[in-house]
């Protein structure tokens, strides 16, 4: 069973534009994490946001968390071709459950 569900499934944008991906989950959480996966590679941890946080920044990444709506969003500002990847949200205590991911394509 998937705890997190990403939306949209695929997103195609031009370089320089912002990309927003959403994640919805079903049960209460203590934190939510976002990961990136480049084609043919392992996942890379991007950011962790705790349930008592509403917003967190890391470089060009901005993550928000709305526990009342059981949802989170990942915003990538001023996207680059190198941001092309799949992005996953994950929840869980210790062992994580991953969503199915958003495939982001950034065209040069």
Partner 1 sequence: NAGVTQTPKFQVLKTGQSMTLQCAQDMNHNSMYWYRQDPGMGLRLIYYSASEGTTDKGEVPNGYNVSRLNKREFSLRLESAAPSQTSVYFCASSEAGGQGSYGYTFGSGTRLTVV
CB 43 within 8 A of CB 10: no
In the set 65, 99, 103, 106, which binds partner 1 (CB under 8 A)? Answer: 99
- Per CB under 8 A, which region of 19-27, 58-66, 77-85, 91-99 contacts partner 1? 91-99
In the set 39, 42, 52, 108, which binds partner 1 (CB under 8 A)? Answer: 42
Cβ-Cβ contacts under 8 Å for 38 (sequence gap 6 or more): 44, 84, 85
By CB under 8 A, residue 27 contacts partner 1: no
Q: CA 55 to CA 66: how far, in whole Å? A: 9
| Shortest distance, position 107 Cβ to partner 1, whole Å | 23
């Amino acid at each position: 069973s998937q705890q997190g569900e990403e939306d949209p499934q695929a997103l195609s944008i031009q370089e320089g534009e912002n990309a927003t991906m959403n994640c919805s989950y079903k049960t209460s959480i203590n934190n939510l994490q976002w990961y990136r996966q480049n084609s043919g590679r392992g996942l890379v941890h991007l950011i962790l946001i705790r349930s008592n946080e509403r917003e967190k920044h890391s470089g060009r990444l901005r993550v928000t968390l709305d526990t009342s709506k059981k949802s989170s969003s990942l915003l990538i500002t001023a996207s680059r071709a190198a941001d092309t990847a799949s992005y996953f949200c994950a929840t869980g205590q210790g062992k994580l459950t991953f969503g199915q991911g958003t495939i982001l394509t950034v065209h040069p």
